[in-house]
Structure 1
Amino acid sequence: MTSDADPGKGRLSRRSLFTAAGAGGLGLAAGAVGAFALGKDRAEAAGDVVPFHGAHQAGITTDAQDRMHTAAFDLTASTRQSVISLLRDWTEAAESLTAGRDIGETGASGGAYDAPPEDTGEAQDLHAAHLTITFGFGRTLFVKDGVDRYGVAAHLPEALIDLPLFSGDALEEGRSGGDLIVQACADDPQVAVHAVRNLARIAFGRARVRWSQIGFGRTASTSAEQKTPRNLFGFKDGTSNLKVQEDDLLAEHLWVSGGPAAESWLNGGTYMVVRRIRMHIETWDRTTLREQELVVGRTKREGAPLSGGTEFTAPDFSMPGRDGPLIDPASHLALAHPDHNGGARMLRRGYNYTDGSDGLGRLDAGQFFIAYFVDPRTHYVPMQSAMAKNDLMVEYLRHTGSGLFAVPPGITPGGYIGQGLFEA
């Protein structure tokens, strides 16, 4: 597919201009230009377009938006070239979607009556809403059941492991894994859903949705300018996580660099861990405030560590209380803090979710955890292993979905996602 517009200038293509002129002369052509200008105004309103191209993919250090729709896909393509074709088509569509434009030359309503529209159309009257689309590759893209399906097994990163089954995991196969992942974040839920819906439509015959998750209300901040949000337990979450302003820490803990030659395609990229964490809301809501704060290790009102200060005060894990340290060593704060994880840091972009009830009057709700790491083997697995065994919060949680994906670096104009891998 090609676009009628130059991505940077919003011009009509020659084909569109000639078609308009042929249908009724310059008057109709001028009308087409006017209509396209309206689309351009929609995309640029309030400066709500996040650049798609860059050294790193958007949607990682981008200020966390308010809504999310993430989907994993299983490839059905039989050839390497078919996968490349899909990635090219996805890249072209993502360029248009993130700019606030319809997909394709004719969009949602300009094509033939006897053919499906090139765009599903539910975002026609909406702004770009800071939409970002981030792509990642699962381990099974490289090797599945011992088979190198697409000739890329030699470039499988060592850190793209099969995540272990952590203590207490209740993973559902239909909520875990996948060959490809797409994370769409926006300030408007319909814009995010529209993006994933259209990418799934484009993938027909080459990939199918394995699982998807819609999230609302971010549970993390990626910028020092964003307030720390609250999760469904009512506590501030992710205070000590990486922020976009911390360039040195991002280089150390987020972005991949300097790997072996076979993995050089991932330099400038990162690793994404996703976990669907169901919260036992009803049990938590019957727990005393004292117990809640003991479990979390922070105050509920301010988010300050129980050792005192404000939200961003460094916790004092040695401060004594009546029955031991004031901050329990098994609290969520203590087990997740960099001080107890070899200094390892992560960048989080998680969201709350609610998927109705389970038929027994209990909410199926919780957090869709999304985090990015330079190496999940050192930055995630040890921490999650310790938390799964010892965290006081474990009795209020159940992990039902899991996945690990290698996220390629950013895309240059004219390129496509994963080009470095498939042309290595």
Structure 2
Amino acid sequence: MSNRKTPPQPSRRGFLLAGGALALAGWLGGAPGALAAAGAAKPAAAKLPKDVEPFYGPHQGGILTPQQQNSYFAAFDVADTAKREDLIALLKAWTDAAARLTHGQPARALSGQSDKAPLDSGEAVGLSPARLTLTFGFGPSLFSKNGVDRFGLAARRPEALVDLPKFNGDQLVPERSGGDLSVQACADDPQVAFHAVRQLAALADGIASVRWAQTGFASGAPGGGTPRNLMGFKDGTNNPSTKDPALMNQFIWVGDEGGWMKGGSYVVVRRIRIALEHWDKTELGFQQEVVGRYKDSGAPLGQRHEFEPMKLNAVDKDGNPVIPETAHSRVASAQENDGARILRRAYSYNDGANFTAERWPPWHQGIEYDAGLFFIAYQRDPRTGFIRINKKLASQDMMNQYTTHVASAIFACPPGARPGGYIGEALFAAL
């Protein structure tokens, strides 16, 4: 019998994670030998796999990225005991983890880890990256909270990062609104999206904690058509084309006026409950008048194709507007809002059923769907974007009889990170 000890066999978990770490080392810039081997194996400018979205770049992913099927949005509160250096350390850790996660790698590197400090919760092992994107934002309360400048950032708060006003009809739940930081994970697999936020929350332990979260789903038509919301209508038809750089610079990306926010964007999120039971009893003709579009094609009333410009001056044989003056698409249009445009990237949500008292006739009370739209909109300046549009919608939109805004937040999403840097780095550069 030999005295030679049999080498320990790697576990499946260890094999998968070790393989991921080796791949990551070549991608992030590991040991010279690893880089040389990687260079010999494939071209330096090799294209990313179809299921991988780039993380580093001038802008954050998840804004212009073709919309994925699932979303997990979380707002975080930073602990009152945290210091500025803790916040910076967290953003660095999140940036590193996000770069790994979007490439299908574990959130934390193997070095320094042990069996007593799990590398990853593991539920996404073996899954595709599913085009995961992670988009980070800074809320107004990060700059000053209850009059306290916790991190020395008050003077750096962008003018455009305003507190959202209270709109007519709002029934906001404070516990599901606001937040110091935001993370939105979007992916074609809901487990991948949740897994990513779960890992970031674990990294934030002791520095920041989840304040509220919201899941969402979106299903586009075959071939990448406009997604439909739970009302059955296409949602986002009027978006400015993300393939037009001039429109993106005009309406979505912050310019020189933003200082450290140049290249970033502002996001407004609103949880909008829809009275689906009421809507489902509404005749198709009236539904289309409420929206101002045909339900099947998405075309403006009186027209044939989804992306035709709305003819707001068109009238019927009796002289009435073909698109009613209170139709949602009309009231929200650029023509009715001094040219204001935003980029909607909304997701539907379904959180089961709850007891609800309707705020519109027939004032039904009882168990109803807790479902609706998780509205997400990016823009260059909320004051001339969402706020201008929603003020008019809140007072004139015929759709208000079916919808109630129950949660709300605004965040400044800084420009993308560069390799070796971190999200929001320019915010702290002069501090």
Q: Say whether the fold is shared (TM-score over 0.5).
A: yes
- 2:417 corresponds to 1:411: yes
Of the candidates 225, 233, 236, which is equivalent to residue 234 of structure 2? 236
Partner residue, 1:318: 313
Partner residue, 2:265: 270
Query: Secondary structure of the residue that 1:367 maps to in structure 2?
Result: strand
Query: Secondary structure of the residue that 1:51 maps to in structure 2?
Result: coil
- 2:275 corresponds to 1:280: yes
Contact 2:253–2:263 (CA<8 Å) still a contact in 1?
yes
Distance 1:45 1:139, change over 3 A: closer
**Aligned 1:237-386 pairs, distance under 5 A:** 237-259=235-257, 263-321=258-316, 322=318, 324-359=320-355, 360-386=366-392
| Structure 2 unaligned blocks of 5 or more | 1-19, 42-46, 356-365
Of the candidates 34, 40, 65, which is equivalent to residue 62 of structure 1? 65
For normalisation by structure 1, the TM-score amounts to 0.87
Distance 2:228 2:29 in 1: 45
Moved more, 241-250 or 280-289: 241-250
Query: Secondary structure of the residue that 2:256 maps to in structure 1?
Result: coil
Partner residue, 1:217: 218
Distance 2:182 2:64 in 1: 17
Once the two structures are superposed, residues 113-166 of structure 1 have per-residue CA deviations (whole angstroms, 9 ceiling, x without a partner) of 3x1302111100101110000000000100111111101111111110110010
The alpha carbon displacement at 1:111 in A equals: 5.3
Query: Secondary structure of the residue that 1:330 maps to in structure 2?
Result: coil
Of the candidates 107, 111, 114, which is equivalent to residue 112 of structure 1? 114
Contact 1:303–1:311 (CA<8 Å) still a contact in 2?
yes
Distance 1:423 1:11 in 2: 23
Runs of 4+ in 1 over 6 A off after TM superposition: 11-14
The alpha carbon displacement at 1:10 in A equals: 5.0
The alpha carbon displacement at 1:382 in A equals: 1.5
Contact 2:73–2:214 (CA<8 Å) still a contact in 1?
yes
The alpha carbon displacement at 1:106 in A equals: 3.3
The alpha carbon displacement at 1:175 in A equals: 1.1
**Two-structure CA RMSD over aligned residues (Å):** 2.4
Distance 1:399 1:53, change over 3 A: same
Residue 162 of structure 2 aligns with an amino acid whose one-letter code is I
Partner residue, 2:174: 173
Query: Secondary structure of the residue that 1:354 maps to in structure 2?
Result: strand
Distance 1:317 1:100 in 2: 48
The alpha carbon displacement at 1:323 in A equals: 6.3
For normalisation by structure 2, the TM-score amounts to 0.85
- 2:91 corresponds to 1:49: no
Query: Secondary structure of the residue that 1:400 maps to in structure 2?
Result: strand
The alpha carbon displacement at 1:12 in A equals: 10
Query: Secondary structure of the residue that 2:123 maps to in structure 1?
Result: coil
Query: Secondary structure of the residue that 2:186 maps to in structure 1?
Result: strand
Once the two structures are superposed, residues 247-280 of structure 1 have per-residue CA deviations (whole angstroms, 9 ceiling, x without a partner) of 1111100111111xxx411000010000000000
Distance 1:289 1:406 in 2: 39
Distance 1:70 1:407 in 2: 14
Once the two structures are superposed, residues 332-382 of structure 1 have per-residue CA deviations (whole angstroms, 9 ceiling, x without a partner) of 011011111111111111100000100443110001000101000011112
Partner residue, 1:98: 102
Distance 1:134 1:7 in 2: 21
The alpha carbon displacement at 1:226 in A equals: 3.3
Partner residue, 1:40: none
The alpha carbon displacement at 1:208 in A equals: 0.6
Of the candidates 79, 86, 95, which is equivalent to residue 83 of structure 2? 79
Distance 1:103 1:386 in 2: 43
Residue 98 of structure 2 aligns with an amino acid whose one-letter code is A
The number of aligned residues is: 388
Moved more, 137-146 or 313-322: 313-322
Distance 1:178 1:409, change over 3 A: same
Once the two structures are superposed, residues 271-295 of structure 1 have per-residue CA deviations (whole angstroms, 9 ceiling, x without a partner) of 0000000000000000011110110
